[in-house]
Structure 1
Amino acid sequence: MEVTMGSASNLVTGVIGYLLQKIKRNFSYVCHHRTMVLDFEKKVEMMKDKRDRVLLDVDAAQKNCETIYPDVNHWLMKVDDMIISELNKVKGLEDEAKKKCFISLCPNVKACYQLSKKAEEDAGAVDELLQQGGFDKISYLDIPPPVVHVPPKDFEDFDSRKLVFNKIMEAVKDPNLNIVGVYGMPGVGKTTLVKEVIRQVEEDKLFDSVVMAVVTHTPDIKNIQDQLADTLGLTFKEPSMSGRVSRLCQRLKKEKKILVVLDDIWTRLDLMEVGIPLGDEDQVCTILLTSRNSNVLKKDMDAKKSFSIGVLEHKEAWDFFKKIAGDGVESHGLPSIAIEVAKRCGGLPIAIRTLATSLKNEPPFAWEDALQQLNRPPSSNFKGVPAAVCSSIEWSYDRLPSEEHKQTFLLCGLMGHNVLFDDLLVYAKGLGLFHGINTVEKTRIRLLTVVSHLKASCLLVDSYSNQRFDMQDLICDVAISIASKGNHVFALRAQDVLEDWPDGDIMKRWDMISLQNANISMLPDLLRCPNLVCFEMLSEDPSMKIPANFFKEMKNLKVLYLSGMNLSPLPSSISLLANLGTLCLIDCVLRDIALLGSSRIWRFLAFR
């Protein structure tokens, strides 16, 4: 019985204690409601600061075309709701608590209690939101759908092109044809026609994705991969070539039906070596190729069908010329001269566009002078290209408004296809191309202006990204030919073989040397080129080494660019370039990194 009474007593004591604690707690809510509200408002201000910091990161990410994670957007909505909705509710309760009861003699106990309770609950919710807002990352770079940019102004709907265009379209639609080729002489419009095929394919949604890369006569596997990766939004993280091949192949296989366009193929290209799959049962991969040589397409690349593109017929060529040159060509006795000038273009769209653009709105005497110049034999001659066509491009070069324009044009020709503007900027700044301009930013502005003028003259064209520009093959060939006149520039490309270096008298006249993957057995022990201002060498042979005294007599070298060679150990003569302030751009196999890093010639400019 005593045990029972004791248990009952303990139970009663416990209940009374609980009730007293609850009464005390509720009384505390009433007495300290203002403190509760201030604590809540302080935490709301902290949450506002946190939200504003996140919004700054969100704004920066969106400007970089990044996608915001869903949980970040959800958190921001919850924060805004807390700040607007809950804060207003607390303010409403606070206004109610200020009203007095019993003829304004007593505080409104109920309102004070509700206010304090609400402020405490919302303060806890704010604490939880603050913890949730500690994001490691707020965004990610989304992979854009593969799209090849095709400027609409480039294509002209010639009648002679319609038939071959329709045949190419039928071929790329045929699932049984995995490799299709287009061939024709340089400047005839292969690339332009293929880009129109791409536009039609994308408009009709014939493929899930379309990607394109320019191969050129100097095939660079890594560069081809980079072009395809840029279109796909793919970033390579693998240092080895085999890793890059596997990653690109894996990415392309994610597209069920894909068109891969490879422009300007000169020789056999192993597609699997690049990372391009020919498709399997679950994927349709169609390859569209362009080349100057039909045998390259049919024999080397095993194209199932190939289509030839010829020059424009006379009427088409004349109509195209008039369209660009303007209506003035048919007035004031000009037609006969204009027709003769147009004939010198040989029916090649690239020559017509370049020449007609230069002569647009010019007086009759300028046309007569142009015809005289075009009748002279050109200094550039290329197999399969009419001499008059080369003359028309040389004439356009001669008409450039300044020496700065001419030198920039020739430099673009030496640098090749799809050049990064920033790379051209490095060369222009290093060579001092623009007299009286010393800063990088002023050089950039001037170079942008000159490049835009060259594009307006149709000597340069847009590339596959805004950061690059391109040059049509034939124009590039003519530019190198012009630059090589008088032995001032020595340029070799992948198809060239150098067995013996020229004699010393010729080498002394060289101002620039550009060796891009040429077949060279070895470099001379000492390059006797005292007038050399630029030496560029790209090699796919990592065993290619530079002799110790190679740079010893390069007293005027301003720009040195080396890529792909083995510079271990570094040639001792490279240290002689330190006092010259030579701009050195080196992308090679290096082991003497400490030595190179301490050398004053290691000058990667900030804008590089």
Structure 2
Amino acid sequence: MEAIGTGAAANVSSEAAKGIFHQVKRHIRYVIFYQKIVDKFEQKRRTLIAKRTSVQQDVDVTERNGEKIKADVLDWRHRVEKVVTEKEKKVKDLEVKVKTKCFFGLCPNIKSRYQLSRKAEEAAATFDELIKDCQFDRVGYPDVPEPVVHTDFEAFKSREEVFNDIMESLKDATTSMIGVYGMAGVGKTSLVNEVERQLHEVEVKLFDSVVRATVSRIPVIKEIQDQIAYSLGLKLEENSLVVRARRLCERLRKEKNVLIILDDLWKKLDLEEVGIPFGSRHKGCKILLTSRDQNVLSNGMDATKTFAIGDLENDEAWKFFRKMAGDSFESDEELRSTAIKVAEKCARLPLALATVARALRNKPLIFWSDALRQLQRSYLEKSSDDISTEVHSAIELSINHLSSEDL
């Protein structure tokens, strides 16, 4: 029994001795092979700096392409900057000490060599981890542009009810497509712009994304796709409309709740051809349309609800006109009387009122009188049937009253 105990004690002592020997050997290595360890540190440092430069080049190209840098790339770059600066300083400081010898320059500074080797080895290991972490397929991702916020919306009293009804309909789960209609210049686009602005600013978001496209009289499917894709940060580089539609559809379906605003419809638009998933294909997708023709919305697009926007009340039309034209005519009775007649010719249409008022802002009576004569001409020839006579006259008048500086 005593022999067994003695043997066990001997084994323990032997293992302890081996452990001590390895520890001593490792520490001696720091002194003897310090230059080799420092060289390895320098090699890892150069490799890491080369990696950092390469990543920075990719970052520069990505940012020039309008993309955002991924979070893990930003974090890696931050860690590299911090580590390289800290480790380099510690190693350089110790290298200076190593060059200072002991005993009046007769013996190498053993302590400094030891400290330098340990710090260099630790730093090389840290550098190696960062090098291994530098495995980026891409350093960036497409940036979803911030929505353009329209702040020039005029909140007319006569439009409050329609606006509130539209907002409530957007909250209604049973309403998937909403239409807004009214004659040209009545303010349909301005109204949906304000809807979009408020949806972006509310604390509790109704939609993950709000995207929009202008359709126009002759729809160009590719342009409509591009407008929607841009709002989503999606690049459609394919030529095939079918492939583009498929990709756009896949992207839209990733949004849990999305509102698509399609402005200025003249006829039925094939949503599937564009790539808009709707109804059973994506129950989280709602569509807000604007058109001059209610039939396009109700019969062509099968909108769940439609809202009409009429012209302004007399009082709010005059107030709006005065706001746009300035108050220069308030002190001149003849000028004010002429201004009232000019405003009446704008048929209470916001676009016509704003266009004419801005063209005549701070102008003398002679300009106002000339404008009134132009607006009164019954034989005015319109270049297009797309807009009302009042709006057409307003636009023509504003062009005629542009100063030479504006031209």
TM-score relative to the length of structure 1: 0.56
Q: What's the offset of the Cα at 1:67?
A: 3.3
Determine the structure 1 residue equivalent to 2:353. 352
* Change beyond 3 A, Cα 1:336–1:257: same
Q: Are 2:161 and 1:163 aligned?
A: yes
Letter matched to residue 292 of structure 1: R
Q: What's the offset of the Cα at 1:324?
A: 0.6
1:424-473 superposed Cα distances (whole Å, 9 cap, x missing partner) = xxxxxxxxxxxxxxxxxxxxxxxxxx9xx58xxxxxxxxxxxxxxxxxxx
1:141-198 superposed Cα distances (whole Å, 9 cap, x missing partner) = 24528x6424111x11111111211222222222212222111111111111121122
Determine the structure 2 residue equivalent to 1:604. none
* Change beyond 3 A, Cα 1:181–1:72: closer
Determine the structure 2 residue equivalent to 1:341. 342
Letter matched to residue 359 of structure 1: L
Counterpart-to-counterpart distance in 1, 2:51 and 2:370: 71
Q: What's the offset of the Cα at 1:89?
A: 2.9
Letter matched to residue 290 of structure 2: T
Counterpart-to-counterpart distance in 2, 1:367 and 1:379: 21
Q: Are 2:332 and 1:328 aligned?
A: no
Determine the structure 1 residue equivalent to 2:227. 227
1:294-340 superposed Cα distances (whole Å, 9 cap, x missing partner) = 11112111122211111112211111110010011212221101001
Higher relative contact order (CA 8 A, sep 6+): 2
* Change beyond 3 A, Cα 1:325–1:29: same
Counterpart-to-counterpart distance in 2, 1:74 and 1:184: 53
**Contact 1:378/1:388 (8 A) holds in 2:** no
Letter matched to residue 393 of structure 2: S
* Change beyond 3 A, Cα 1:238–1:317: same
Determine the structure 1 residue equivalent to 2:402. 400
| Corresponding residue SS for 1:319 | helix
Counterpart-to-counterpart distance in 1, 2:95 and 2:172: 75
Counterpart-to-counterpart distance in 2, 1:125 and 1:275: 49
Q: What's the offset of the Cα at 1:281?
A: 8.6
Determine the structure 2 residue equivalent to 1:149. 148
Letter matched to residue 393 of structure 1: I
Determine the structure 1 residue equivalent to 2:173. 175
**Superposed CA RMSD:** 3.3
Alignment of 1:71-220 (within 5 A): 71-102=72-103, 105-116=106-117, 118-119=119-120, 122-123=123-124, 126=127, 129=130, 133=134, 137=137, 139-144=139-144, 148-153=147-152, 155-204=153-202, 205-220=205-220
Q: What's the offset of the Cα at 1:342?
A: 0.9
1:53-85 superposed Cα distances (whole Å, 9 cap, x missing partner) = 533543553465433345534443443344233
Letter matched to residue 67 of structure 2: E
Determine the structure 1 residue equivalent to 2:244. 244
* Change beyond 3 A, Cα 1:341–1:49: same
| Corresponding residue SS for 2:218 | coil
| Corresponding residue SS for 2:260 | strand
Alignment of 1:447-466 (within 5 A): none
* Change beyond 3 A, Cα 1:140–1:299: same
Determine the structure 1 residue equivalent to 2:4. none
Determine the structure 1 residue equivalent to 2:253. 253
| Corresponding residue SS for 2:174 | coil
**Contact 1:68/1:138 (8 A) holds in 2:** no
Counterpart-to-counterpart distance in 2, 1:34 and 1:226: 61
| Corresponding residue SS for 2:185 | coil
**Contact 1:346/1:386 (8 A) holds in 2:** no
Counterpart-to-counterpart distance in 2, 1:363 and 1:179: 48
| Corresponding residue SS for 1:280 | helix
Determine the structure 2 residue equivalent to 1:291. 291
* Change beyond 3 A, Cα 1:397–1:130: same
Counterpart-to-counterpart distance in 2, 1:284 and 1:47: 47
**Contact 1:148/1:212 (8 A) holds in 2:** no
**Contact 2:70/2:141 (8 A) holds in 1:** no
Letter matched to residue 338 of structure 2: I
**Contact 1:267/1:300 (8 A) holds in 2:** yes
Counterpart-to-counterpart distance in 2, 1:393 and 1:35: 82
Counterpart-to-counterpart distance in 2, 1:126 and 1:70: 20
Q: What's the offset of the Cα at 1:238?
A: 4.1
Counterpart-to-counterpart distance in 1, 2:214 and 2:88: 60
**Contact 1:255/1:283 (8 A) holds in 2:** no
Letter matched to residue 162 of structure 1: E
Counterpart-to-counterpart distance in 2, 1:270 and 1:281: 15
* Change beyond 3 A, Cα 1:286–1:331: same
**Contact 2:144/2:230 (8 A) holds in 1:** no
**Contact 1:58/1:138 (8 A) holds in 2:** no
Letter matched to residue 208 of structure 1: D
Higher helix proportion, which one?
Answer: 2
**Contact 1:381/1:387 (8 A) holds in 2:** no
Q: What's the offset of the Cα at 1:138?
A: 5.1
* Identical columns (%): 48
Counterpart-to-counterpart distance in 1, 2:201 and 2:126: 51
Structure 2 unaligned regions, length at least 5:
1-20
1:267-292 superposed Cα distances (whole Å, 9 cap, x missing partner) = 12222222222233973322211111
Determine the structure 1 residue equivalent to 2:15. none
- Matched residue count: 381
* Change beyond 3 A, Cα 1:142–1:336: same
Counterpart-to-counterpart distance in 2, 1:140 and 1:331: 61
Counterpart-to-counterpart distance in 1, 2:384 and 2:111: 98
* Change beyond 3 A, Cα 1:94–1:159: same
Q: Higher mean Cα deviation, 268-277 or 315-324?
A: 268-277
**Contact 1:260/1:287 (8 A) holds in 2:** yes
Alignment of 1:338-487 (within 5 A): 338-376=339-377, 377-380=379-382, 387-401=389-403
* Change beyond 3 A, Cα 1:72–1:391: closer
* Change beyond 3 A, Cα 1:227–1:102: closer
Q: Higher mean Cα deviation, 275-284 or 172-181?
A: 275-284
Structure 1 unaligned regions, length at least 5:
1-18, 403-449, 455-608
Letter matched to residue 169 of structure 1: M
Letter matched to residue 349 of structure 2: L
1:532-575 superposed Cα distances (whole Å, 9 cap, x missing partner) = xxxxxxxxxxxxxxxxxxxxxxxxxxxxxxxxxxxxxxxxxxxx
Counterpart-to-counterpart distance in 2, 1:97 and 1:353: 81
**Contact 1:322/1:329 (8 A) holds in 2:** no
* Change beyond 3 A, Cα 1:78–1:289: closer
1:351-401 superposed Cα distances (whole Å, 9 cap, x missing partner) = 111111011011112111222222223121766965344222212122234
Letter matched to residue 233 of structure 2: G
Letter matched to residue 402 of structure 2: L
Higher strand proportion, which one?
Answer: 1
**Contact 2:265/2:291 (8 A) holds in 1:** yes
Q: What's the offset of the Cα at 1:42?
A: 6.7
**Contact 2:325/2:362 (8 A) holds in 1:** yes
| Corresponding residue SS for 1:106 | coil
